[in-house]
Chain A
Amino acid sequence: MTHESELREEYSKLLRGFLESGDERYLYDIENISKEFVRANIGPDYILEAHLNTLNKIVSEFPVDKAVYIYNKASEPLFNLMVAYATAYHDYIAMNEERYLREKQLADELNDANRNQEMFISIMSHDIRSPLTAVVGYSGLIQKWSNDDEKIKRFAEKIEMTAMEIDRMIESIRTYSRVKKGNSKEDFDEIDLKVTLSEIFEFLDEKIQVHGTKIERRYRTDRDYMALGTEFLKNAYLNILDNAIKYSPKNSIISVTLDDTGSDLKFGVADHGDGVPDEMKEAVFERFTRNDKCGIKGSGIGLAIARHAIESHGGKVWIEDNPGGGCIFYVTVPKA
């Protein structure tokens, strides 16, 4: 016998018991069985059918006047059943909804974790491979020039620097993972964006020289632009500026602005490159999307990380067209 027909049989017995004795006990048992109906996912139409079938069978055993009395009396257990059924069903829906929300939240967290992991693997395999190539290359050169102390010293220095670069990358991955987990309070410092920018220009100096880029600072140097930020926010600005230099024609001008008139600090970088078409303005912040241009190095991961970092500081980043050609990257972060 299936569970459905068992429950139906059971209900028939209880209904008959109540109609014959009028005992409250049957109503209590009917209340309990109604929960079983909900649990077994048996619909009210099916229960009603079971009720009517049983009732008809019982009624057929009695003369007409008694039959009417039984019919009337049978409304009470049915009503009890339906109230208990509806109450249990209401609980059941609420329980499922809560479970669904909980599962959805877990699934989202898991997806996030997976995406992060993929990103780490990407960084590892793409960005760390190129400095490693340098390490291998210089090691080979040391073996080849094993008699030339001067050369060996220079190559060893290169290897040391490259190793330190790898270390910085690993550190940034760790920071990134912390940023994604939610910045802890101690990671935040008050930073003056004007100072941060100066540090970045110094860091990028060689690249700026090689590219012949002219940096135009369009903000006041006698003023503080204070924000609450982590090392990772600084890296995001670095990344965007690095990007602008990379995508600009040689010997062109890049304008950098800082605006503190609103509630946020707005940073802008305008270049005179080829610009970013509208359909790519969002996509460049996804991983491995690059506004394809031959001869440009990088794994296409920098802007994705930058956006994560900026957003985790409560900020925004987006691209607009530069009226004079090229594009403008904007970054806003809340003031400190």
Chain B
Amino acid sequence: MSDAEETIPIKDEYAIVAARSAGKTISSKCGFGLVDQTRISTAISELARNILVYAVTGTVYIREVAADGKHGIEVVAEDHGPGIVNLDLAMTDGHTTGGGLGAGLPGTKRLMDEFDIISAVGEGTTVTVRKWL
């Protein structure tokens, strides 16, 4: 059922643009309206930017998903960077260690329906977000 899928290696800002673009294409294909497409692409930007800032390189996977009769989009941002030492803190509004305007994580969480984060210090971070139609 879920056929649309994209894997985008993140190594520079152009890759972020590519990930956004792929996110928009897939979300549009899933049937999301312009408002949600914008939310999704903004969230992808944040996740990809986090990879660039904190882990330097990583990968963003975007795919159409279906579960429990729901249909939507899933974005997985994975890196093998330093990991997040204090997850609770990283999820606090306004907290930043990367010199940004506060971490994109809380903002990303607000833009999507589901948000999961797994992080191990020294091993990396995987953020999975979903938005349902």
Contacts and interface: CB of A to CB of B under 8 A. Distances in A.
Contacts of B20: 24, 27-28
Nearest to A96: B94
Interface residues of B, number: 28
A154 interface: no
Contacts of A28: 13, 16-17, 20, 45
A173 B125 CA distance: 52
Interface in A37-82: 38-39, 75-76, 79-80
A195 interface: no
B102 interface: yes
Nearest to A26: B17
B67 interface: no
A76 B34 contact: yes
Contacts of A96: 94
A3 to B, nearest CB: 16
A91 B42 contact: no
Interface string B98-125: 0011110011001100000000000000
Interface in A1-36: 24-25, 27-28, 31, 35
Contacts of B17: 24-25, 28
A141 interface: no
| Contact-residue size bin, chain A (C-beta under 8 Å from the other chain) | 20 to 34
Contacts of B38: 76, 79-80, 83
Contacts of A269: none
Nearest to A91: B102
A205 interface: no
Interface string B14-35: 1011101100100000000011
Contacts of A90: 93, 107, 110
B111 to A, nearest CB: 7
Nearest to A31: B45
A91 B102 CA distance: 6
A99 B95 CA distance: 10
B78 to A, nearest CB: 20
Interface string B43-58: 0010000000000000
Contact of A79 (B24, B35, B111): B35
B40 to A, nearest CB: 10
A39 B101 contact: yes
B51 to A, nearest CB: 14
B7 interface: no
Given A88-B101, A90-B107, A95 B93 contact: yes
Contacts of A97: 93-94
Contact of B42 (A75, A87, A99): A87
Contacts of A35: 100-101
A30 B28 CA distance: 20
Contacts of B21: 24
Interface in B59-98: 92-96
A80 B42 contact: yes
Contacts of B107: 87-88, 90-91
A328 interface: no
Contacts of A24: 17-18, 20-21, 24
B39 interface: yes
Contacts of A31: 42, 45
B126 interface: no
A-B pairs with the 7 shortest C-beta distances?
Answer: A95-B94, A94-B93, A91-B102, A24-B21, A94-B94, A87-B107, A25-B17
Interface of B: 13-14, 16-18, 20-21, 24, 34-35, 38-39, 41-42, 45, 92-96, 100-103, 106-107, 110-111
Given A79-B34, A95-B94, 13 more contacts: A25-B14, A76-B38, A80-B38, A83-B38, A83-B39, A91-B103, A92-B102, A94-B92, A94-B93, A94-B94, A95-B93, A95-B95, A95-B96
18 contacts: A25-B17, A28-B17, A31-B42, A35-B101, A39-B101, A76-B34, A76-B38, A87-B42, A87-B111, A88-B101, A91-B93, A91-B94, A91-B101, A91-B107, A92-B94, A95-B95, A95-B102, A96-B94
